[in-house]
């Protein structure tokens, strides 16, 4: 059985979930109303810091319970009692920035721990902890995180990060918020109703007010607040901070105006208001004058030990994603060759010319200055990962029997997968990832090879933990990749009897050393001059606040000469 005649459906994580599983949720089960706003001024959204440099750091909070322009005091100190204040000042906020406060505190000492807080009259915020970057260091510890769907579960992984003994920074690779509403079939609402974690507002977010309200709901979460207060964050957005799968001129989950109606408005407006809310609510340095709000790419140097290079691959230049549903039919059969030609088009890009120049210069300068590791903060998976060959995994008779037992929608989905992946030259699993932009990936690989960089790629988006060894088109090893599972977003998205999807992908793809789609959590990265240690940290539940966090697997890369990295 080949199933290669006809590919009726597009493959998406959410569609597969709905096709392969039975949705059981009662409309009113566990529903809650939004909490009443506290009376009077306060700091109900906690505190945060971010974008640390050797001499400065961003401090963030929001003043709630006021409706007029207000002046907020900020303080930075060496001690919890704030008897040794090293910097302080005032920040004016108002409705134009949603009463958020964001201060770029300068004049600090490298490699120094600080505490900070905010005051409004007699009201004092919680105390946060932050740290400046070192001029010289022999150890850096980073927690890499991604994909926190509030409705789907408790942020136990964030609480585990807050409880770490030592951490230099949290690296958020995107999907800090999600745009979906509270409908019966909306993403994550099975758990959302059970746990009373109902999205605010309860519809898909589109307007500036909507995005601000959703950010506010997330920032009220006590576990997220604890993680923000623990250490500085270095963040990039992925897609859901705006909406699912955008490119430079639109998005899969955005309906533009048409003759049939206004849809969700102009894409440029939705993008602009989403980014405005993101810039207001996140502890991130604002763009330099003349720079677009989308231009979030930047780098952070931890002495001569590591350079953290945060890239942007969603909004600035991304070509529209290809989709398997766009396969042309010739004589009743899909024209796979034409589709592959489109996929390999060298004009398809993620970076754009300006960012490519910046990235190349950053890599070259970092290596020339003797920085030991180049760490890429990257939104989507970079490895070459073909979809699962189910006929190879199960055999044709078992697949035929399985097909006969499935409902029509699931059978159609499975037939599509077999047509695409059970072939001598299987197609990539995810065309929204770097696999959808192979020419751009080769351009990046050429940069890192030319620089002689020891590259560690940290990637989010996929809700799966990965350990991948990356090779260029000629088969030369270039870098390693650690993919981050989700904080709370659904992980296992294809449920078939006897199928461990992640293990099957690891078995069938040369670049995949290991993969796991059963756990939520984060990746803890420890860098020293001699090695990089990456640990998959997993929480055993997201539906109870009583949880355990364990090390599921550990990966080591030695700092060998010659640039290219590999696991040992």
Q: Are residues 400 and 520 in the same domain?
A: yes
Q: Are residues 123 and 138 in the same domain?
A: no
pLDDT in tens, 509-541: 999 999 999 999 999 999 999 999 999 999 999
Domain contains 431? yes
Q: Which of 82, 111, 132 is the last residue of a domain?
A: 132
Domain contains 2? no
Q: How many helices (H) and strands (E) does the chain have?
A: 13, 25
Domain contains 123? yes
Instruction: Compute the distance between CA of residue 94 and CA of residue 67 in angstroms, rounded to an integer.
Output: 8
Contacts of 145 (CB under 8 A, 6+ apart): 157, 158, 161, 170, 171, 172, 173, 460, 484, 487, 522, 523
Domain contains 24? yes
Across 311-452, where does the E strand assignment appear?
329-330, 333-334, 373-378
CATH of the domain at 86: 2.60.40.380
Contact 125, 61 (CB under 8 A): yes
Q: Are residues 53 and 147 in the same domain?
A: no
Number of domains in the chain: 2
Domain contains 216? yes
Question: Which residues of the chain, if any, have pLDDT below 50?
Answer: 1-33
548: its two tokens: 């355990």
CA torsion sign for 336, 396, 516, 490 is positive
Residue 360 gets which letter from DSSP? Answer: H
Q: Which of 109, 132, 155 is the last residue of a domain?
A: 132
Q: Are residues 150 and 88 in the same domain?
A: no
| DSSP assignment string, 217-280 | HHHT-HHHHHHHHHS-EEE---STTT-SSEETTEETT----BTTB-TT--HHHHHHHHHHHHHH
| Range list of H helices, 148-235 | 156-162, 189-195, 208-219, 222-230
> What is the structure's pLDDT at 566?
81
Domain contains 568? no
Q: Are residues 466 and 342 in the same domain?
A: yes
Q: Which domain holds residue 46?
A: 40-132
Q: Are residues 375 and 268 in the same domain?
A: yes
Contact 482, 555 (CB under 8 A): yes
pLDDT in tens, 259-274: 999 999 999 999 999 9
Q: Are residues 272 and 391 in the same domain?
A: yes
Q: Are residues 328 and 292 in the same domain?
A: yes
> What is the structure's pLDDT at 314?
97
222: left (phi over 0), alpha (psi -120 to 50) or beta: alpha
20: left (phi over 0), alpha (psi -120 to 50) or beta: alpha
Q: Are residues 126 and 170 in the same domain?
A: no
How many angstroms separate the Cα of 115 from the Cα of each of 77, 87, 109, 219?
5, 11, 13, 20
Report the predicted TM-score, pTM, of the whole model to 2 decimal places.
Answer: 0.93
Domain contains 8? no
Domain contains 7? no
CATH of the domain at 338: 3.60.21.70
Phi, psi of 36 (to 5 degrees): -65, 140
Q: Are residues 109 and 237 in the same domain?
A: no
Q: Are residues 396 and 358 in the same domain?
A: yes
Q: Are residues 426 and 294 in the same domain?
A: yes
> What is the structure's pLDDT at 36?
57
Instruction: Compute the distance between CA of residue 26 and CA of residue 247 in angstroms, rounded to an integer.
Output: 35
Q: Which of 92, 110, 132 is the last residue of a domain?
A: 132
């Amino acid at each position: 059985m080949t199933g290669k005649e006809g590919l009726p459906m597009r493959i998406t994580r959410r569609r597969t979930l709905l096709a392969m599983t039975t949705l059981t949720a009662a409309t009113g089960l566990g529903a809650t109303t939004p909490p009443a706003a506290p009376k009077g001024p306060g700091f109900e959204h906690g505190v945060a810091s971010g974008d640390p440099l050797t001499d400065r750091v961003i401090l963030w909070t929001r003043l709630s319970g006021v409706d007029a322009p207000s002046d907020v005091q900020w303080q930075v100190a060496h001690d919890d009692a704030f008897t040794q204040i090293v910097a302080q000042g005032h920040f004016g906020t108002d409705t134009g920035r949603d009463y958020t406060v964001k201060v770029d505190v300068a004049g600090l000492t490298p490699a120094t721990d600080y505490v900070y807080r905010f005051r409004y009259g007699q009201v004092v915020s919680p105390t946060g902890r932050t740290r400046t970057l070192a001029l010289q260091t022999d150890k850096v510890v980073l927690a890499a995180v991604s994909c926190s769907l509030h409705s789907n579960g408790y942020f136990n992984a964030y609480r585990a990060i807050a409880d770490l003994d030592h951490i230099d920074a949290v690296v958020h690779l995107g999907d800090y918020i999600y745009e979906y509403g509270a409908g019966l079939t909306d993403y994550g609402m099975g758990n959302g109703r059970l746990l009373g974690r109902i999205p605010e507002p309860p519809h898909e977010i589109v307007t500036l007010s909507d995005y601000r309200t959703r950010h506010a709901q997330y920032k009220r979460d006590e576990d997220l607040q604890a993680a923000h207060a623990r250490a500085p964050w270095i963040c990039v957005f992925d897609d859901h901070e705006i909406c699912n799968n955008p490119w430079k001129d639109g998005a899969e989950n955005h309906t533009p105006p048409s003759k049939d109606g206004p849809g969700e408005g102009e894409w440029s407006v939705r993008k602009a208001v989403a980014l405005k809310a993101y810039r207001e609510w996140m502890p991130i340095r604002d763009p330099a004058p003349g720079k677009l709000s989308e231009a979030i790419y930047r780098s952070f140097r931890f002495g001569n030990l590591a350079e953290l290079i945060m890239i942007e691959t969603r909004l600035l230049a991304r070509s529209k994603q290809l989709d398997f549903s766009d396969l042309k039919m010739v004589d009743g059969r899909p024209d796979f060759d034409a589709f592959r030609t489109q996929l390999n088009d060298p004009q398809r890009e993620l970076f754009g010319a300006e960012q490519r120049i910046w990235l190349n210069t950053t890599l070259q300068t970092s290596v020339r200055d003797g920085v030991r590791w180049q760490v890429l903060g990257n939104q989507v998976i970079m490895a070459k990962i073909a979809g699962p060959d189910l006929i190879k995994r199960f055999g044709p008779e078992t697949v035929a029997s399985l097909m006969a037992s499935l409902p029509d929608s699931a059978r159609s989905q499975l037939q599509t997968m077999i047509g695409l992946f059970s072939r001598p030259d299987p197609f990539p699993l995810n065309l929204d990832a770097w696999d959808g932009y192979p020419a751009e990936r080769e351009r990046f690989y050429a940069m890192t090879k030319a620089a002689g960089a020891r590259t560690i790629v940290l990637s989010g988006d996929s809700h799966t933990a990965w350990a991948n060894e990356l090779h260029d088109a000629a088969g030369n090893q270039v870098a390693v990749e650690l993919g981050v599972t989700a904080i709370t977003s659904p992980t296992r998205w294809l449920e078939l009897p006897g199928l461990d999807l992640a293990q099957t992908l690891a078995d069938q793809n040369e670049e995949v050393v290991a993969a796991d789609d059963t756990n939520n959590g984060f990746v803890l990265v420890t860098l020293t001059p001699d090695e990089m240690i990456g640990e998959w940290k997993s929480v055993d539940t997201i539906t109870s606040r009583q949880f355990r966090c364990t090390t599921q697997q550990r990966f080591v890369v030695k700092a060998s000469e010659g640039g290219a990295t590999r696991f040992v």
